[in-house]
Amino acid sequence: MQHFLDINSFSATELWQFLKKAKALKDELKTNGSNKPILAGKTLGMIFQKPSLRTRVSFEVGMLHLGGQAVYISPQEIGLGKRESVADVARVLSGYVDGIMARVFSHDHILELAEYSRVPVINGLSDYNHPCQALTDVFTMWEHFGRIEGLTMAYVGDGNNMATSLVIAAAKLGFHINIASPAGYSLPPTILSQAKSLTEDTEVNILVTEDSIEAVTDVDVIYTDTWASMGQEAESQERLKVFPPYQVNNKLVAFAKPEAVVMHCLPAHRGEEITDEVADGPQAIVFPQAENRLHAQKAILALLL
């Protein structure tokens, strides 16, 4: 049994297995109009502490495409760690379903679910990282450019769970990454140290800066995320004062390569971290990226369940 908890749990070879499976499943769907029911009779239990559009629909539809089914479990039905202990939830669900996907606030809940579950656990998002989205993102880059290794991504914004997953993905899969964040909002030092240790014997460059222009100059990909994630609403007004110099707008995008693309994991707060002109512009691949959540997560389901 294998869980999907973070990008760092997998080797580059294993990550490429997921990416190639995602491509095969996407190609099969586009060619035939359907996927083979390789998960017939399988059920995925989906635990949600946070609201979701892409995570819920992509996992639910993904299971249907592969012949299985998914069961949505709302925050009110479990009260994870409150109404019922995480360990008990894991042990109970293990007797009902073939896999558990959880979208939570605390990463400790993901780790505890995995510790006590008898079926694979998939991290649909936690405060620490977002591995399903990162896998989707590198799949989208591979699909667009025909390669991953040697590309350069600029991540502009909060050094959050998304930045954590992307910097580890860069270190594992061989693309360079520049991370521009305001002082006090940069990538956690432990994550940066971990990523740099993975690149000691490679040519991967990791740049951390407070200068957004330095970060995006001559890059292939510009990536941004919301300035205040779910659970940080109390900080949103303060963040709105600090982050405007990190807005991805036409002026900033002009410093990247002419053929550079713009990515966002969504939901976007238009007019804050990204402008309409960029999000809806010719360089944005935001919505193909969103669609690829379905295909990348089907690969995870196919290989784990």
pTM over 0.85: yes
DSSP state of 12: H
Provide mean pLDDT across the span 23-48: 98
Catalytic residue from among 49, 133, 247, 297: 133
Q: Which stretches of the chain are DSSP H helices?
A: 12-32, 54-65, 75-78, 86-94, 107-116, 131-145, 161-173, 189-198, 212-216, 236-242, 250-253, 276-279, 286-304
Which tens digits make up the pLDDT trace of 98-129?
999 999 999 999 999 999 999 999 999 999 99
pLDDT band at 80 (very low <50, low <70, confident <90, very high): confident
What is the layout of strands, in order, in the sheet containing 221-224?
Answer: 206-209, 176-180, 152-156, 221-224, 261-264
Whether the predicted pLDDT of 179 surpasses 80: yes
Which tens digits make up the pLDDT trace of 223-263?
999 998 766 777 888 999 999 999 999 999 999 999 999 99
261-264 and 176-180 beta bridge pairing: unpaired
To the query of whether residue 247 is one of the catalytic residues in this protein, the response is: no
- Say how far residue 209 (Cα) sits from the centre of its chain: 22
To the query of whether residue 265 is one of the catalytic residues in this protein, the response is: yes
Task: Tell me the HSE value of 238 on the side-chain side, using a 13 A CA sphere.
Answer: 8
To the query of whether residue 103 is one of the catalytic residues in this protein, the response is: yes
15 and 7 Cβ atoms separated by less than 8 Å: yes
**Full set of structural domains in the chain with CATH:** 7-130+293-304 (3.40.50.1370), 133-290 (3.40.50.1370)
To the query of whether residue 56 is one of the catalytic residues in this protein, the response is: no
Q: Minimum mean pLDDT among 23-37, 74-88, 206-220, 281-295: which range?
A: 74-88
Higher pLDDT, 229 or 197: 197
3-class secondary-structure state, position 297: helix
To the query of whether residue 3 is one of the catalytic residues in this protein, the response is: no
Distance CA 278, CA 119 (A): 42
Catalytic residue from among 65, 103, 109, 239: 103
Distance CA 102, CA 81 (A): 13
Which tens digits make up the pLDDT trace of 271-305?
999 999 999 999 999 999 999 999 999 999 999 99
Structure tokens at 100: 């558990």
